[in-house]
Amino acid sequence: MNPLVNQLQKMEKHQSIFESALRQLPLPVCAVFGTPAAPQAISFSKSSRILSTRDSAGVAASFPNSVKASGNVVLTSSGTHPNRAQGKRVAVLFSGGPAAGGHNVVCGIKHILGKGNTLLGVKPGPKGLLKGNLFEITDADIAACMNTGGFDFLGTDRTKIKTPEQFQQVKETCIKHQIDAIVIIGGDDSNTNAAVLAEYLFKGVKADGSGVQVIGVPKTIDGDLQVDDLLPISFGFETATKIYSELVGNILQDTRSSLKYWHFVKLMGRSASHVTLEVALQTKPAVTLISEEIAEKKQSLSSIIRQIADTVVARAHKGMNHGVVLVPEGLIEFIPEMHALISELNDVLAQNAEEYAALDETAKPLFIQNKLSTEAANLLASLPDYIVKMLLAERDSHGNLQVSLIPTEQLLIDMTARCVKEIDSRISFSTQSHFLGYEGRCGAPTLFDAAYTYNLGLTAGSLILDGRSGYMATITDLAGGGLPQAIPLTGLLNIERRQGKDEFVIEKALVKMDSPSMQYFLSRRSEWAADDLFASPGPRQFWGPSIYQQPITVALNSGSKSLEFKIG
Ligand code: FBP
């Protein structure tokens, strides 16, 4: 065989030159775990920090076992474990959208459990737990998935465990596979799932009356699972935003080269605008919309359009018929009139689910319109069909509107074009639209995400060996060496309306207007609008001088003096 053909075939199944080298990339560990070559399990003790939310009393009543055990007190690592457990059977699963670094969480858990315990993979996600689809993870599996992107080792799904039958199914899986602990790697909704399961499985699962431990690990590219300095960022955010920033940097370079297009780039991030803010800070485009600012200023859709059009016109008058507009994926839900419409739609769709599902597609908009208030019905009728269709589409199993399917960027382009024409009909406004979402979720993790997730895995595994349940693993002080800690999940729960019902959920952390990162953005954006001051951060690097970077928003918000992160 031609040696080149031979080499190419050997590179199939994740054996590219890049992937093979990346598996060998050494990862630092927090000092408390000892050496990277042989990390040691750690024990935890209560810190002085107690969490409380608006609905703490209701949470204590609904989650009595978890609250009684944790007192909602944050745990902090207290050195190498003197007497780590043996013989545990631990199940691990991914939940929700993929995010770079998930495989390293699994690797960290496996390494800390060591030979004396068993790690089982659940395929795919919570659905796999219901079906009892588990297999034993081997050392060879771990070596193969170390530092690789995606969740393909186990797969993932968005099943919400909520009915009594589903809880019973989980219990049966635990009994059948003799599971002692479950690790759920997921975002806000998945960690809510973890809190609910921890309470349900707290006791009475095994023959001796004991329970099954449940630990959460904070994942989501959206960056909306944050708990001030206790959880500066969820994993996957850094890799996704670096990938988007490279692409936006390239587009900006094209705008100034071809001198004729406005590019509208919608960026993933279901609700909060953390991703968009980070990409703006990395690349400095002419216009960046931040949903939280729009909600706070109660900006209407027409005033947002006017704001974009004014920048287009001002730049055109200076001879710049080009630019980039960054649009957060979740924008539509933050525009006050759209927010009111979507809330009404959520309730109406939930209340009339059966009748609605039986209708012909063409009859659906009118059926819903007739059930809305006059204001909401008029607004729905004024929107283009491509938006109405997606507003009426099925919610995900957690009741979320599927914003990634709504072409907001196209709506903004169509409306801005009309507005620019009204202001100055001589201006040429040629556009391109993009949606950067799925291409950022599964790239190989940056060193920040690879190290962060491996240490989260070591922490989650240690919590299990320390007998804890109902906590989310976290690493604090990411620029000062890294400190493993554990956040009581019940300390994060609040009541929210979902699919027409009040439920306990972990709230999404939104961009705060007074945060240092937002303030820095506000101080620079008019300069970026007036001239081409963009920068291209380039592709993410895995070797060399620029690898020790943390996200700009995280560095600013945590008061770092530089962009550098330091674990170990
Ligand atoms: P998670 O919150 O589960 O991490 O998912 C985030 C996300 O990537 C959002 O940014 C996006 O809106 C959504 O997933 C898309 O979901 P799906 O993969 O189901 O299309």
Per-residue model confidence (pLDDT) at position 148? 96
Task: Decide: 562 and 555 in contact? Cβ < 8 Å.
Answer: yes
Per-residue model confidence (pLDDT) at position 500? 67
Percent share of the chain, pLDDT over 70: 99
In tens, the pLDDT along 223-277 reads: 999 999 999 999 999 999 999 999 999 999 999 999 999 999 999 998 999 999 9
Q: Is the CB of 187 under 6 A from ligand 1?
A: yes
What whole-number distance in Å separates Cα of residue 566 and Cα of residue 568? 6
| DSSP H helix total and E strand total for the chain | 24, 15
What whole-number distance in Å separates Cα of residue 394 and Cα of residue 372? 18
Specify the pairing of strand 430-436 against strand 471-476.
unpaired
What whole-number distance in Å separates Cα of residue 40 and Cα of residue 238? 27
Q: Compute, in angstroms, the gap from residue 98 CA to the centroid of ligand 1.
A: 8
**List of long-range contacts for 400-407, beta carbons under 8 Å, 24+ apart:** 400/189, 400/270, 401/333, 401/342, 401/346, 403/270, 403/271, 403/329, 403/330, 403/332, 403/333, 404/268, 404/270, 404/329, 404/435, 404/437, 406/332, 407/266, 407/433, 407/435
Place of tokens 């209701």: 58
Atom of ligand 1 nearest to the CA of 270: 12
- Quote the tokens at residue 69: 């055990």
Atom of ligand 1 nearest to the CA of 403: 12
Q: Compute, in angstroms, the gap from residue 270 CA to the centroid of ligand 1.
A: 6
In tens, the pLDDT along 364-379 reads: 999 999 999 999 999 9
Q: Is the CB of 221 under 6 A from ligand 1?
A: yes
Q: Is the CB of 269 under 6 A from ligand 1?
A: yes
In tens, the pLDDT along 116-158 reads: 999 999 999 999 999 999 999 999 999 999 999 999 999 999 9
pLDDT surpasses 80 at 98: yes
Atom of ligand 1 nearest to the CA of 221: 4
- Please name the residue whose Cα sits nearest to atom 10 of ligand 1: 269
Residues in the chain: 568
324: enclosing H helix or E strand: strand 323-328
Strands (E), 37-127: 42-50, 73-80, 89-94, 118-122
Quote the CATH superfamily of domain 241-441+515-544: Phosphofructokinase domain (3.40.50.460)
What does the DSSP 8-state code read for residue 370? Answer: T
Per-residue model confidence (pLDDT) at position 83? 80
Per-residue model confidence (pLDDT) at position 546? 82
Per-residue model confidence (pLDDT) at position 405? 85
Sort residue 150 into left (φ over 0), alpha (ψ -120 to 50) or beta. left
Q: Is the CB of 218 under 6 A from ligand 1?
A: no
- Please name the residue whose Cα sits nearest to atom 14 of ligand 1: 97
Atom of ligand 1 nearest to the CA of 222: 10
Q: Compute, in angstroms, the gap from residue 268 CA to the centroid of ligand 1.
A: 8
Per-residue model confidence (pLDDT) at position 220? 98
Res. 401 pLDDT band, cuts 50 70 90: confident
Q: How far apart are the first and last CA of the chain?
A: 47
Residue to mutate, 160, 273, 404, ligand 1, most ligand atoms under 8 Å from C-beta: 404
pLDDT mean over 146-172 = 95
Per-residue model confidence (pLDDT) at position 497? 78
Distance of CA 223 to the CA centre of its chain: 5
Q: Is the CB of 97 under 6 A from ligand 1?
A: yes
Task: Decide: 133 and 268 in contact? Cβ < 8 Å.
Answer: no
pLDDT surpasses 70 at 34: yes
- Please name the residue whose Cα sits nearest to atom 12 of ligand 1: 270
- Please name the residue whose Cα sits nearest to atom 19 of ligand 1: 97
Res. 399 pLDDT band, cuts 50 70 90: confident
Same topology for domains 3-236+445-495 and 241-441+515-544, yes or no?
yes
Q: Is the CB of 222 under 6 A from ligand 1?
A: yes
What whole-number distance in Å separates Cα of residue 446 and Cα of residue 130? 33
The residues annotated with a catalytic role in the active site are 222
- Please name the residue whose Cα sits nearest to atom 7 of ligand 1: 97
pLDDT surpasses 80 at 479: yes
Q: Which CATH architecture has domain 3-236+445-495?
A: 3-Layer(aba) Sandwich (3.40)
Tell me the C-alpha to C-alpha distance, in Å, between residue 506 and each of 39, 108, 152, 183, 515: 31, 25, 26, 17, 21
Q: Is the CB of 236 under 6 A from ligand 1?
A: no
pLDDT surpasses 90 at 107: yes
Residue to mutate, 270, 396, 397, 408, ligand 1, most ligand atoms under 8 Å from C-beta: 270
- Please name the residue whose Cα sits nearest to atom 20 of ligand 1: 404
Q: Compute, in angstroms, the gap from residue 196 CA to the centroid of ligand 1.
A: 21
Res. 402 pLDDT band, cuts 50 70 90: confident
Q: Is the CB of 96 under 6 A from ligand 1?
A: yes
Per-residue model confidence (pLDDT) at position 81? 84
Distance of CA 378 to the CA centre of its chain: 34
Domain ranges, ordered by start, for the chain: 3-236+445-495, 241-441+515-544
In tens, the pLDDT along 414-423 reads: 999 999 999 9
Strands (E), 364-499: 430-436, 471-476, 483-488, 493-498
Per-residue model confidence (pLDDT) at position 496? 85
Res. 344 pLDDT band, cuts 50 70 90: very high
In tens, the pLDDT along 482-539 reads: 999 999 999 999 998 776 678 999 999 999 999 999 999 999 999 999 999 999 999 9
What whole-number distance in Å separates Cα of residue 134 and Cα of residue 157? 15
Atom of ligand 1 nearest to the CA of 95: 3
As a whole number, the mean pLDDT across the chain is: 95
Residue to mutate, 94, 152, 193, 220, ligand 1, most ligand atoms under 8 Å from C-beta: 220
Give the three-class secondary structure for 544: coil
Q: Compute, in angstroms, the gap from residue 237 CA to the centroid of ligand 1.
A: 12
Q: Compute, in angstroms, the gap from residue 99 CA to the centroid of ligand 1.
A: 9
Neighbours of 131 (CB within 10 A): 14
- Please name the residue whose Cα sits nearest to atom 6 of ligand 1: 97
- Please name the residue whose Cα sits nearest to atom 4 of ligand 1: 220
In one letter, which amino acid is 259?
Answer: L
pLDDT surpasses 90 at 398: no
